[in-house]
A and B are shown apart, each in its own frame.
Chain A
């Protein structure tokens, strides 16, 4: 694969590019969905993708293609170089300093060499067992959006005109179920999932299915509550969604454009002392790990918020130069160029059993699902639709829906009064249970 990357970089140089980088992605994927015990959809996919970024002097452009024929690659180079001739020069553009490039490529155990070998029928069986367990949990589980198994293996090769060349292989596996519960004419859907880099590490299909069923069942009989201002507890999945908003606001592109509520806040207390946020791309076998970033810089562990103090932004080379800082090695690639992305991003576990957090709330909301896009990244203003359980005298009393939770992300993070000890990595971004002292819940 690196041969093709070297070849396209050489051709770019021949066409007048003064610097360039390129990556090649090869992907093989399978997915199976079973619904009510019957195979619903099975998908096989094979994809490849070559992406080139060229600099002509201080101007830059990018091009990509899924056609790797000689003629098509030649056209790719031509188009990238001619596009770079119409873009405006930018003195801060360019590849990272050669001295900063990763010198060795760590082995992070991201590939499962045998996990994909399972026959399609056996993969379908995993999806079927997962869904069946959900359906058998309770007679009120009456329908299903299905059980799903998916696996994917990806080979990625990246090279630059100033000497970096690296490649790696990754695997991913996921299993999920989405049952529908019904009672008294009301239907409620929920789901549960697991994703890993090793097939053997997937939770048992029956465990996933039963959890999905319990989640759907506990929503039955949901009602609205009156508008009020109360403590709000976010379950681990929803707490993870909150820290994603912090990652977005701490990312270089939003900062230099002034489009972030964290502009100028480096070194300041932006959250309660209970909050420590870490991004760590070096964890062996983890879903967000990678041996080097999108510009060939070595990945590392970055403390973004330390006991409430904003200690680092998330930057690639260009946005770091714009802000007069150094890259934090968070470059990610898409076909159009370089963006910023997290690796394994998490809220460090706190000392408290999540049940104790709930027990300490007299009247409040326990949030298990959020919908909608009501987050303003410039101001931090926050307003989303919520589903969850009402807390009455320290107990999860009854399900609630058709309500919203609203506040401002900075105020919400400062108002975090408790962090659970229940941090589990189910995804690239993870958090334990979080208690926010006060938020507005709008309802009837």
Chain B
């Protein structure tokens, strides 16, 4: 069904290359610094199992076009879900009205190179047979209940989508992408002596449905959800106050996403509202720390062949041995800051203008043995799983919430503690990194990042890392 994006929009909506050229040429060419058209067609599906059966299923189609015109710092944006040509012309007029004069004659160069081919699949996950999906969810329910008699409720869900996008500019340049995505999640509720707890786990990416069957990944997700829920039943109150914290590998990389990632997005730095503004070349982390944002890893949830402005994605070094090396940019902010676009211009859908956003953000592996890192801590917290996080870009304060954590006493992992929020200061937290493990792991593929009301899929990762001093928001004084 999803062949080349150019043909897709022509066949289905009559939007031929020449029609797009006329639209962009007559309405926008030469009158603004930059203009583009973003066409999108999205089919998504969700199946939800609870109480032992798939009782909820839904399928959604959304399509639309976003037209953007920019002059100087001004952006005019109009979107419509009616792809008839007169509607698009009206949208182009609305977008242009606000950005009605070119401030320079400079043509924005499209970053060169061929789009990557990171996730072309023989069968996209949404096209896999429904009965296979229903069967898998049923197996997860049975496995969770078999794993522990305290399991009371199992909710398993499988979401899949196919998105076709086409980006066109007045110069006649177009680039398209076909983006499959899937995610399998399981949540269990356990009960013991009237006390209830919840655990959840999942994974996915730009992968086929069979990904979940390979290596019995679905079984791993299920047993992890049960294990986490059961551990919480006997967790003690978390300590309150500043502690040495050891973060486990993988998903705890959410620390990087909140502590430094958002603060290095080009828009905040162009406006001077980030705690990292004007700090390129300065030391912002311990020299053990190198952080990259890499949109080019095959089949990852945060990867893209081209970003939502048509720029080819890259591996961008943000922090190298503790020194701040670069920001993540979209087209507008790179132009205004006189920097190169980095392939980080992303948007939730046609209904949103692009912004600088992360793709897959992670810290490179260090030298230490993870077991030695834990042994090095006389008293602290070992946090291995997290819920969401958030950051105040301007003052740099960030939080992320541990959902599975343990006390470290005399270099040994002892009691499980209840969930607690960790809070720190972005420009300062990574300067306190004193040990970095050799066990870099990326997350399982479930991350979603929200910014300014727009959600996009992202990835994170990190090796086992020791941070000397971060405030733990527990209740045990």
Q: Closest A residue to B258 by CB, please name it.
A: A372
**A75 cross-chain contacts in B, Cβ below 8 A:** 61
Interface residues of B in 31-61 (CB under 8 A from A): 46, 50, 53-61
Within 8 Å CB of A62, what residues of B?
Answer: 56-59
A13 at the binding interface (Cβ < 8 Å): no
Chain B residue with the shortest CB-CB distance to A224: B471
Given contacts A39-B74, A43-B353, A66-B63, contact A88 B82 (CB under 8 A): no
- Please, how many angstroms separate the alpha-carbon atoms of A258 and B154 in the complex? 11
B474, A180: Cβ atoms closer than 8 Å: no
Contact B395 A188 (CB under 8 A): yes
Residue of B nearest to A88 (CB): B53
Q: Is the CB of B423 within 8 A of A187?
A: no
Number of interface residues of B (CB under 8 A): 80
Chain A residues, Cβ within 8 Å of B134: 86
Closest to B53 in A: A88
- When the two chains form their complex, are residues B472 and A63 in contact, meaning their CB atoms are under 8 A apart? no
Q: Mask for A396-417, Cβ within 8 A of B = 1, else 0?
A: 0000011111111000000000
Stretch binding the partner chain, chosen from B14-22, B215-223, B271-279, B315-323? B271-279
Contact B395 A87 (CB under 8 A): no
Q: Is B458 an interface residue (CB 8 A)?
A: no
Give the nearest-CB partner of A227 in chain B: B241
* Contacting pair B54 A442 (CB below 8 A): no
CA distance A399 to B288 in the complex (A): 34
Q: Are B77 and A374 in contact (CB under 8 A)?
A: no
Q: Mark A10-50, 1 if CB is under 8 A from B, else 0.
A: 00000000000000000000000001001111111111110
The interface size bin for chain A is 35 or more
Q: Which of A49, A180, A374, A443 contacts B399 (CB 8 A)?
A: A374
CB distance from B379 to the nearest CB of A (A): 15
In Å, the complex CA distance between A277 and B389 comes to 29
Query: Given contacts A43-B78, A87-B56, A376-B419, are A402 and B397 in contact (CB under 8 A)?
Result: yes
Query: When A and B form their complex, what is the total count of cross-chain residue pairs whose Cβ atoms lie within 8 Å?
Result: 259
Q: Is the CB of A258 within 8 A of B387?
A: no
- Majority SS of interface residues in chain B? strand
Determine whether B191 belongs to the interface, using a CB cutoff of 8 Å to chain A: yes
B418 within 8 A of A: yes
Q: Which residues of B contact A427 (CB under 8 A)?
A: none
The CA of A257 and the CA of B97, in the complex, are separated in Å by 51
How distant is B468 from chain A, measured CB to nearest CB, in Å? 14
A79 to B43, CA, bound (A): 12
Cβ of B476 to closest chain A Cβ, rounded Å: 8
The CA of A79 and the CA of B63, in the complex, are separated in Å by 17
- Choose, from A127-135, A285-293, A380-388, the stretch at the interface: A380-388
- A371 within 8 Å of B (CB atoms): yes
* A208, B425: Cα distance in complex, Å: 29
Whether B153 lies near A257 (C-beta < 8 A) is yes
Interface residues of A in 47-90 (CB under 8 A from B): 47-49, 59-67, 72, 75-76, 79-80, 83-84, 86-88, 90
- Chain A residues close to B by CB (< 8 Å): 35, 38-49, 59-67, 72, 75-76, 79-80, 83-84, 86-88, 90, 93, 120, 143, 145, 180, 186-189, 219, 222, 224, 227-229, 257-259, 263, 335-337, 371-374, 376-379, 381, 383-385, 387, 401-408, 440-444
Interface residues, chain B, with chain A CB atoms under 8 Å away: 46, 50, 53-64, 72-82, 87, 91, 94-95, 97-98, 130-131, 134, 152-153, 155, 189, 191, 196-198, 238, 240-242, 271-273, 275, 351, 353, 387-395, 397-401, 418-421, 423-425, 471-477
